[in-house]
């Protein structure tokens, strides 16, 4: 039960000389909601594809104790996936989609799916081509939440949705799906939206995991201090990750400096995940 | 629901404070059922661990209690217990600071007391 749901060692993937994953290590424990966050081109989607057995790769990768390269069929019984590009065929109706998933997936619960859909504006006869982007995601979520899988992978699940659909998406996921035996892996650019939902954070940069920590650890490690110009050099000596200027004061972001020490320099606050992300990814596009 | 959390206090403590305020304001009464961890997590878009931690703190202080198979409930003596601890905190933390300020402003306690009595009479 304590074995990680996903364990990667020296995970490497090369596309025609371009290294998308540069031999990286990480673990994802069970019962967590993990955010895999990185700039465009950092290797997020490649990592997800490797986990789902959609691409060949080098190194070791175990998902639910299975090798995605050779045991993909067994793996797919316990893994669900929602991609940022909606992959439901445009001609399919809600009823047909339910019939299809029931036919192919042994762990699908039709009643649960229908009960969920009853609360939406979707009707059995409605076809995907008649749906808005938000409705397609709703249908997708209904199908996926009704499968009793152990691992749910969400790749930019709320991309292009309005704020009502986005809130509803995470609301339903927390209320009706997640429990301590399930694990959810989310990639997203909308960090602020998920930061309180996450239990763990994985930052990826240039094909490597650059930060792996629980949210508690993130809160303990990173601090932001507002410093008057007179003390700025003293703050710089502690090697901040980032510095910016606000209203004539300097704001420094530190990793791993004890709070007590920083309090001598000025007002200390816990930075948001977005602040930490921007600071640690500096120079990515240069 | 849209809630803003501040960055300086862990969210589980802010959540706990919310429940405490509701208890003090009488919005939650002894014996009343509390929403489940799952409901709160969904409503406020929080990790369930965060919510459990807030409930754990409130349980440790005997303000709420778990009833097996039923969920969380406000404890019978919760309002009284809170009132006592809030009074203690006021006398320990807020009152000395207030007293210092009163003295610094050159006001006398007797005068203030009389003013307060007069206001109440009106």
Q: Is B71 on the interface with A (CB under 8 A)?
A: no
d(CA A207, CA A20): 5
Q: Is A259 on the interface with B (CB under 8 A)?
A: no
Across the range B77-92, mean pLDDT stands at 89
Q: Is A167 on the interface with B (CB under 8 A)?
A: yes
| Residue in A175, A196, A219 closest to B39 by CB | A175
Q: How confident is the model at residue B2 (pLDDT cuts 50, 70, 90)?
A: low
- Which residue spans within A188-263 are E strands per DSSP? 200-205, 208-214, 222-227, 242-246, 249-255
**Interface A:B, Cβ pairs < 8 A:** 41
| Residue in A170, A219, A269 closest to B45 by CB | A170
Q: Is A171 on the interface with B (CB under 8 A)?
A: yes
Decide if A196 and B10 are in contact by the 8 Å CB cutoff: no
d(CA A41, CA A195): 21
CA-to-CA separations, A14 to A20, A66, A206, B15, in angstroms, rounded: 6, 22, 12, 46
By the 8 A CB rule, do A205 and A282 touch?
Answer: no
What is the model's pLDDT at position A122? 95
- Which residue spans within A122-241 are E strands per DSSP? 151-155, 183-187, 200-205, 208-214, 222-227
Q: Residue B1 above 60 pLDDT?
A: no
Residues of B in contact with A171 (CB under 8 A): 42-43, 45
Q: Is B45 on the interface with A (CB under 8 A)?
A: yes
| Residue in B39, B42, B46 closest to A196 by CB | B46
Can you give the pTM of this predicted structure?
0.84
Residue bearing tokens 């967590």: A32
Residues of B in contact with A215 (CB under 8 A): 47
Residue B71's closest CA among B44, B32, B42, B41?
A: B32
What is the model's pLDDT at position A95? 96
Across the range B65-91, mean pLDDT stands at 89
* Residue A22 to chain B, least CA–CA distance (Å): 31
Residues 6+ apart with CB under 8 A from A228: A249, A250, A266
Tens of each residue's pLDDT in chain A, 286 residues:
578 999 999 999 998 878 899 999 999 999 999 999 998 888 898 999 999 999 999 999 999 999 999 999 999 999 999 886 657 889 999 999 999 999 999 999 999 999 999 999 999 999 999 999 889 989 999 999 999 999 999 998 888 888 888 899 999 999 999 998 999 999 988 888 898 999 999 999 999 999 999 998 998 899 999 998 888 898 999 999 999 888 888 999 999 999 889 988 988 988 989 999 988 888 776 6
Residues of B in contact with A167 (CB under 8 A): 45
Kindly report the length of chain A: 286
| Per-residue DSSP letter, A128 | G
Nearest chain B Cα to A184, which residue?
A: B47
Decide if B50 and A196 are in contact by the 8 Å CB cutoff: yes
Out of 3.40.50.1820, 2.40.10.220, 3.40.50.300, 2.30.30.140, which CATH number does the structure's domain A6-206 have? 3.40.50.300
Residues of A in contact with B7 (CB under 8 A): 269-272
């Amino acid at each position: 039960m304590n074995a990680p749901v996903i364990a990667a060692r020296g995970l490497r993937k090369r596309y025609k000389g371009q290294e998308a994953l540069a031999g990286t290590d990480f673990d994802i424990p069970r019962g967590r909601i993990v955010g895999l966050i990185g700039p465009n081109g950092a290797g997020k989607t490649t990592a997800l594809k490797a986990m789902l057995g959609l691409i060949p790769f080098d190194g070791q990768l175990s998902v639910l104790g299975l090798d995605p390269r050779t045991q993909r069929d067994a793996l797919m019984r316990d893994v669900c996936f929602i991609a940022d590009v909606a992959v439901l065929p445009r001609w399919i109706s809600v009823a047909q989609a339910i019939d299809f998933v029931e036919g192919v997936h042994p762990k699908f619960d039709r009643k649960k799916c229908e009960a969920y859909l009853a609360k939406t504006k979707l009707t059995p006869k409605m076809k995907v081509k008649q749906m808005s982007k938000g409705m397609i995601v709703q249908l997708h979520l209904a199908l996926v939440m009704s499968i009793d899988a152990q691992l749910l992978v969400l790749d930019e699940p709320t991309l292009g949705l309005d704020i009502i659909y986005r809130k509803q998406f995470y609301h339903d996921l927390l209320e009706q799906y997640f429990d301590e035996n399930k694990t959810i892996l989310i990639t997203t650019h909308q960090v602020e939206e998920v930061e309180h939902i996450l239990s763990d954070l994985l930052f990826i940069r240039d094909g490597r995991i650059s930060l792996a920590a629980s949210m508690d650890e993130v809160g303990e490690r990173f601090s932001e201090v507002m410093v008057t110009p007179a003390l700025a050099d003293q703050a710089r000596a502690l090697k901040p990750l980032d510095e910016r200027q606000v209203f004539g004061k300097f704001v420094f972001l530190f990793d791993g400096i004890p709070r007590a020490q920083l309090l001598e320099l000025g007002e200390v606050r816990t930075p948001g995940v977005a602040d930490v992300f921007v600071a640690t990814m500096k120079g990515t596009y240069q | 629901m849209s809630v803003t959390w501040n960055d300086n206090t862990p969210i589980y403590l802010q959540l706990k404070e919310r429940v405490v305020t509701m208890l003090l304001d009488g919005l939650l009464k002894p014996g009343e059922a509390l929403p489940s961890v799952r409901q709160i997590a969904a409503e406020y878009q929080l990790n369930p661990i965060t919510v459990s931690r807030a409930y754990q703190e409130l349980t440790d202080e005997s303000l709420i209690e778990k009833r097996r198979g039923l969920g969380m409930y406000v404890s019978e003596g919760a309002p009284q217990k809170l009132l006592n601890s809030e009074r203690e905190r006021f006398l320990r933390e807020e009152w000395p600071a207030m007293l210092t300020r009163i003295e610094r402003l050159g006001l006398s306690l007797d005068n203030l007391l009389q003013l307060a009595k007069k206001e109440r009479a009106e």
